[in-house]
Structure 1
Amino acid sequence: MPATFNHTIIASKNRDESAAFYRNLIEASEAPSWGPFRNILLEGGVMLQFAEPPVEIQMQHYAFLVDDELFDRAYARLVEWDVTHWADPQMTRPGETNTEHGGRGVYFKDPAGHAIELITQPYLS
């Protein structure tokens, strides 16, 4: 069996808030939660586990590949929720999306301060 990605833990200031943010933004499924984790499930069985570590949270980058329809819905939510967003990772083009790599993309921060990217085309296709 080839290796596939199964799960990751995303450090959160508030695991419930972060799990709800991702679940609602990218329309992920709820998953059973246990112990210190609030879990959501992405298409293909990849689980995101949100936990509140007892250390300072270091920013991480997470990119999600979505289709055009979900991108439109998620972008509308970002605007509705008044989430600051940029067309570029350097944060020099606020309030915009990009059309690089043959698709569309947007950058923003999640409730814990992680740098999140939504793209409609993979960088390597």
Structure 2
Amino acid sequence: MSVELNHTIIFARDNRASAEFLAGILGLKAGAQWGPFVPVETSNGVTLDFASVGPEKVAAQHYAFLVSEEEFTASFERIQQAGLTYYADPGLKKPGEINHNDGGRGVYFLDPDGHGMELITRPYGSGGR
């Protein structure tokens, strides 16, 4: 059997709000609450389980999503429509820009809990600049 990531837990102040935020940007649906989790499933079968915790337990994490050019365009439009600040870099030093690393497009933005979200159209190291 090959090893695959099945799910991960993302701590949030409000699991429903955070799940719906990310699902909305990505054009996905937040699922029904299951126990303490609100799931968002990606197309490759990985589930992001959002769990409500106190604000002191939310430590900023980074989540990167590989998307098609079409999905990037649609998600980036939703980022702009939501009035989110976005960046070309993980250090958040280039606001209002996207990057073109490896010949693709990439963007960083923060979710309501300060988690760094990244959308890329080409995997790192896949070539092009």
Confirm or deny: 8 A CA contact 1:29 1:42 kept in the other structure: no
Question: Structure 2: 5+ residue runs without aligned partners?
Answer: none
Confirm or deny: 8 A CA contact 1:14 1:52 kept in the other structure: yes
Q: How does 1:1-125 map to 2 (within 5 A)?
A: 1-54=1-54, 55-125=56-126
Q: Find the aligned partners of 1:93 and 1:61 in 2 and give their Cα distance.
A: 17
Question: Structure 1: 5+ residue runs without aligned partners?
Answer: none
Q: Give the stretch that moved more between structures: 31-40 or 80-89.
A: 31-40
Q: Find the aligned partners of 1:124 and 1:99 in 2 and give their Cα distance.
A: 12
The superposition leaves residues 31-55 of structure 1 with CA deviations (integer Å, 9 ceiling, x where unpaired) of 3431111111110211110011244
Aligned partner of residue 117 in structure 1, secondary structure:
strand
Q: Give the stretch that moved more between structures: 74-83 or 48-57.
A: 48-57
Residue 21 to residue 75, structure 1, CA distance change in 2 (3 Å): same
- TM-score (structure 2 length as normaliser): 0.91
The structure with more helix, counted as a fraction of residues: 2
- TM-score (structure 1 length as normaliser): 0.93
Amino acid at match of 1:67: S
Confirm or deny: 8 A CA contact 1:28 1:43 kept in the other structure: no
Percent sequence identity over matched residues? 43
**Matched residues, number:** 125
The superposition leaves residues 16-68 of structure 1 with CA deviations (integer Å, 9 ceiling, x where unpaired) of 11111111111224434311111111102111100112443111000000000
Runs of 4+ in structure 1 deviating by more than 4 angstroms, as ranges, are none
